[in-house]
Chains A and B, each alone.
Chain A
Amino acid sequence: MARWYALANRIWGASAALPLAACGGGAQSALAPNGVQAERVALLFWVMTIGSGIILLAVTLVTALAICGPARWRRWLGRDGIVIGGGIVFPVITLTALLGYGFVLTSINDPPSASGEPVKIAVVGERWWWRVIYRDVAGRRIESANELRMPVGRPIEIELTSADVIHSFWAPKLAGKLDMIPGRKNVLTLTAKETGLSRGQCAEYCGGAHALMSFYVLVMTQPEFEQWLAREAGSAKAPTEPEAQQGMTLFAASGCGACHTIRGTSANGVIGPDLTHVGGRLSLGAASLPNDEAAYARWIKDNQRIKPGNLMPPYGIFSESELAALSRYLANLR
């Protein structure tokens, strides 16, 4: 597990140093697919890009000949047949073929694979974060947030809905975009080919902090995933360290549980993200901060500066030591 944190931190470091590095590095690149669906998108992209490149080259060549080529060639190019053939018939055939190919490619229904039933995950778009709900074999609802964990090689069926406005779920390495529309259920099926970490992003403008509505996707081996899900389903462990215990008391006394749930405590709010295992996530604030104690303190106090307009009120009421205690408590909810 530690290697994923190391990788997440490398991505943090890279994206902080050079924002475009994330594209080149492929953590959030549709050109570095890691899934059946994303590969189709990439293939379509390359077919279109290379095909249109060849056509552009040919048209440029013909244009040059028509302007300054030998008189015989120019006469030949000026014939009605060439104009009708190259200007109408060829584009109609090519574009129709491309459209048909695109339709076929994007509407392939993947047959249930040999590796069993699809894993069902529900993702709800909220302003500006992702509510992620897993179901275990017993059908129990396990709520998490802002990252998607999935087993490799198995089809994943993601049910996409929205709690407020239109969002769009986009994990470029795994599949194309699919909108999350209030009052409607969209289902995205995807299959990851390799284990690894990638990043996703809301792809439909959904208000002020839209750009800060991201998430991580972690593809794990089947046993790793099962182990993780079993732990995620459990309640939070009560802290043993005094500072974290103080944090727990503060969390309860300051009304945090009005919006957040920590299973195993009195906190049962449903407005904000479930924090039962928040310390085990790869980021804070929907991939807007790394997951460390300093980031918790910053988020609690300055969340309106980090993510303006988010629903959480700024909590300036804590002293430095209280903030440290709260951060210690939350960071250790793994």
Chain B
Amino acid sequence: MALATTRTIAILGSVVIALGVGAFLFAWSGIYNIAASEPHFAITYWLLDFGKRRAVETHSLLAPTAVLDDPNLVALGAGHFHGGCAPCHGAPGEPSNPIIQRMLPRPPDLARVAPTWTPKQLFWIAKHGLKFTGMPAWVAPEREDELWAIVAFLRALPKMDAAEYRRLAKGDAGRPSRGIRELATLGSVADALSRCHRCHETQAAPSPNRLIPKLAGQSQAYLEMSLRNYANGLRPSGIMQPMAAGLDERTLIELAKHYAEHPVIWAEAGIVQSAASNQIERGKRIASTGVPEKGVPPCLACHAGKSAATFPKLDGQHAPYIAGQLRLWRRGLRSRTVHGAIMAAIAPRLSEEQVEDVAAYFESVASTAAAPEPPPAPPLPPRRRR
């Protein structure tokens, strides 16, 4: 009996070793064809796909959840998708490049496959990427707020037609508004600017997305500093880091200058004044006198006209953007720059309610930045509401 058991174990062991050696010799020989020009065997494809699905399902079990009903999230996600995802995955009305189509695995059409994943699973894939597929991980994985914008966009993508996609993803840049002469003089700057315009305001249109900051009227020093902080990774963002990292020094300065000199264009008052007046009143109190007993200094000591050029102006800025940034500071995600370190000490002293109040207040204030010159043909003239 014992002898039989020993023999069985010996035989099984030999088989395992033989299989291992065989597999190694098979790999060593180089016989297996890894050419992307040949499709996988059906069994290989099934096995890889099965493994991928199971891995994503298991690993995303503990991923967080979020409410995705803000339409601004979809538009923010679209802006990034167009530059970061569409080149490989394609987009409505814009198939990917033929080179990409020869990849194996071929980056899937997300309008088709996104509905096969849950939001948590999409979040996990966008955050971590997938090994051996060419799918990269998110540049700033700590920015979960950005990842949810991508997920929100992917949820909306299947129902999106080409026109709707163009409107969301390209904004004003989608319109052929730029003259030949301007392109010739601006060159690479115009090219970079068209990428800014996918999300940020243009000469002709105000910034409609309240998750995306208005840039017009900020100082050149602040805008340059912000772009540099994104470019060298000190200010984490999976959306802005890739944008800023590709800019050469001249383009970076020109872009900052462009927005610093950009006329401030106001959205209709109705859009902006959405907060309750008592909330604005509470926010105003925090902004002008602080919360001394909690160690919160008045915001306006730094974020007002006379302050250093590297401090951003907040008057008229979108409330959800301000609140979003304050939350990043509270979570310790904006403390690596010297300027960020200042707010990193202050923001955690604000309660969530105070964050909302102060953001609502700043959004309600008319910008004090003077528009150097009126835009050439403004559909919405600059408004003075004082």
**A residues adjacent to B (C-beta < 8 A):** 163, 250, 252-255, 257-259, 269-271, 311-317
- The answer to whether A258 and B345 have CB atoms under 8 Å apart is no
The 27 listed contacts between A and B (C-beta, < 8 Å) are A163-B293, A254-B302, A254-B307, A254-B308, A255-B297, A255-B302, A255-B307, A258-B297, A258-B301, A258-B302, A259-B297, A269-B298, A269-B301, A270-B292, A271-B290, A271-B297, A312-B345, A313-B341, A313-B342, A313-B343, A314-B341, A314-B345, A315-B342, A316-B341, A317-B308, A317-B310, A317-B339
Inside 8 A of B302's CB, which chain A residues have their CB? 254-255, 258
Considering the chains assembled together, what is the distance between the CA atoms of A271 and B296 in angstroms?
8
Inside 8 A of B338's CB, which chain A residues have their CB? 315-317
Inside 8 A of B343's CB, which chain A residues have their CB? 313
Considering the chains assembled together, what is the distance between the CA atoms of A312 and B344 in angstroms?
11
Closest residue of B by beta carbon distance from A255: B302
12 additional A-B residue pairs with CB within 8 Å, beyond A258-B301, A271-B290, A313-B345: A163-B293, A255-B307, A255-B308, A255-B311, A258-B297, A269-B290, A269-B301, A271-B296, A313-B343, A314-B342, A315-B342, A316-B338
The 10 A-B pairs at the shortest CB distance, nearest first, are namely A258-B301, A258-B297, A255-B302, A316-B338, A313-B345, A313-B342, A255-B301, A253-B308, A311-B295, A317-B338
Closest residue of A by beta carbon distance from B225: A317
Considering the chains assembled together, what is the distance between the CA atoms of A284 and B220 in angstroms?
36
Considering the chains assembled together, what is the distance between the CA atoms of A41 and B323 in angstroms?
56
Inside 8 A of B344's CB, which chain A residues have their CB? 313
Inside 8 A of A315's CB, which chain B residues have their CB? 338, 342
Considering the chains assembled together, what is the distance between the CA atoms of A315 and B345 in angstroms?
11
Closest residue of B by beta carbon distance from A254: B308
Inside 8 A of B301's CB, which chain A residues have their CB? 255, 257-258, 269
Taking the nearest CB of chain B, how far is it from the CB of A215, in angstroms?
21
Considering the chains assembled together, what is the distance between the CA atoms of A254 and B308 in angstroms?
6
**B residues 304-327 with Cβ under 8 Å of A?**
306-308, 310-311
Inside 8 A of A314's CB, which chain B residues have their CB? 341-342, 345
Closest residue of B by beta carbon distance from A313: B345
Taking the nearest CB of chain B, how far is it from the CB of A267, in angstroms?
9
Q: Does B346 contact A (CB under 8 A)?
A: yes
Inside 8 A of A259's CB, which chain B residues have their CB? 297
**B residues 252-295 with Cβ under 8 Å of A?**
290, 292-293, 295
Taking the nearest CB of chain B, how far is it from the CB of A55, in angstroms?
52
- The answer to whether B306 and A252 have CB atoms under 8 Å apart is yes
Across the interface, B290 reaches (CB within 8 A) one of A254, A258, A312, namely A258
Chain A binding surface, main DSSP class? loop
Closest residue of A by beta carbon distance from B301: A258
Considering the chains assembled together, what is the distance between the CA atoms of A317 and B342 in angstroms?
9
Closest residue of A by beta carbon distance from B345: A313
- The answer to whether B297 and A269 have CB atoms under 8 Å apart is yes
Considering the chains assembled together, what is the distance between the CA atoms of A253 and B346 in angstroms?
18
Inside 8 A of A270's CB, which chain B residues have their CB? 292
Taking the nearest CB of chain B, how far is it from the CB of A302, in angstroms?
11
Interface centre among A250, A271, A315 (most CB of B within 10 A): A271
Taking the nearest CB of chain B, how far is it from the CB of A237, in angstroms?
22
Considering the chains assembled together, what is the distance between the CA atoms of A259 and B298 in angstroms?
8
- The answer to whether B308 and A258 have CB atoms under 8 Å apart is no
Inside 8 A of B345's CB, which chain A residues have their CB? 311-314
Inside 8 A of A317's CB, which chain B residues have their CB? 308, 310, 338-339, 342
Inside 8 A of B342's CB, which chain A residues have their CB? 313-315, 317
Inside 8 A of A252's CB, which chain B residues have their CB? 306
Inside 8 A of A255's CB, which chain B residues have their CB? 297, 301-302, 307-308, 311
Inside 8 A of A313's CB, which chain B residues have their CB? 341-346
Considering the chains assembled together, what is the distance between the CA atoms of A257 and B295 in angstroms?
13
Considering the chains assembled together, what is the distance between the CA atoms of A117 and B175 in angstroms?
82
Inside 8 A of B293's CB, which chain A residues have their CB? 163
Taking the nearest CB of chain A, how far is it from the CB of B349, in angstroms?
8
Considering the chains assembled together, what is the distance between the CA atoms of A253 and B301 in angstroms?
8
Considering the chains assembled together, what is the distance between the CA atoms of A315 and B337 in angstroms?
11
Inside 8 A of A269's CB, which chain B residues have their CB? 290, 297-298, 301
Taking the nearest CB of chain B, how far is it from the CB of A316, in angstroms?
3
Closest residue of B by beta carbon distance from A311: B295
Considering the chains assembled together, what is the distance between the CA atoms of A314 and B345 in angstroms?
8
Inside 8 A of B311's CB, which chain A residues have their CB? 255
Inside 8 A of B292's CB, which chain A residues have their CB? 270-271
Closest residue of A by beta carbon distance from B294: A271
Interface centre among A269, A314, A316, A317 (most CB of B within 10 A): A317
Closest residue of B by beta carbon distance from A312: B345
Given contacts A252-B306, A253-B306, A253-B307, contact A271 B339 (CB under 8 A): no
Annotate B323-366 by CB proximity to A: 1 below 8 A, 0 otherwise: 00000000000000011011111100000000000000000000
Closest residue of A by beta carbon distance from B307: A253
Closest residue of A by beta carbon distance from B341: A314
Given contacts A270-B292, A316-B338, contact A258 B307 (CB under 8 A): no
Interface centre among A250, A252, A255, A315 (most CB of B within 10 A): A255
Inside 8 A of B308's CB, which chain A residues have their CB? 250, 253-255, 317
Across the interface, B298 reaches (CB within 8 A) one of A253, A258, A311, namely A258
Considering the chains assembled together, what is the distance between the CA atoms of A316 and B346 in angstroms?
15
Considering the chains assembled together, what is the distance between the CA atoms of A313 and B293 in angstroms?
16
Considering the chains assembled together, what is the distance between the CA atoms of A217 and B15 in angstroms?
87
Closest residue of A by beta carbon distance from B309: A253
Considering the chains assembled together, what is the distance between the CA atoms of A244 and B168 in angstroms?
53
**B residues 366-380 with Cβ under 8 Å of A?**
none
Closest residue of A by beta carbon distance from B346: A313
Considering the chains assembled together, what is the distance between the CA atoms of A312 and B297 in angstroms?
10
Considering the chains assembled together, what is the distance between the CA atoms of A317 and B229 in angstroms?
13
Taking the nearest CB of chain B, how far is it from the CB of A157, in angstroms?
26
Taking the nearest CB of chain A, how far is it from the CB of B160, in angstroms?
43
Inside 8 A of A253's CB, which chain B residues have their CB? 306-308
Considering the chains assembled together, what is the distance between the CA atoms of A312 and B311 in angstroms?
17
Inside 8 A of B296's CB, which chain A residues have their CB? 271
Taking the nearest CB of chain B, how far is it from the CB of A192, in angstroms?
33
Considering the chains assembled together, what is the distance between the CA atoms of A315 and B346 in angstroms?
12
Considering the chains assembled together, what is the distance between the CA atoms of A311 and B345 in angstroms?
7
Inside 8 A of A312's CB, which chain B residues have their CB? 345
- The answer to whether B295 and A271 have CB atoms under 8 Å apart is yes
**B residues 146-185 with Cβ under 8 Å of A?**
none
Inside 8 A of A257's CB, which chain B residues have their CB? 301
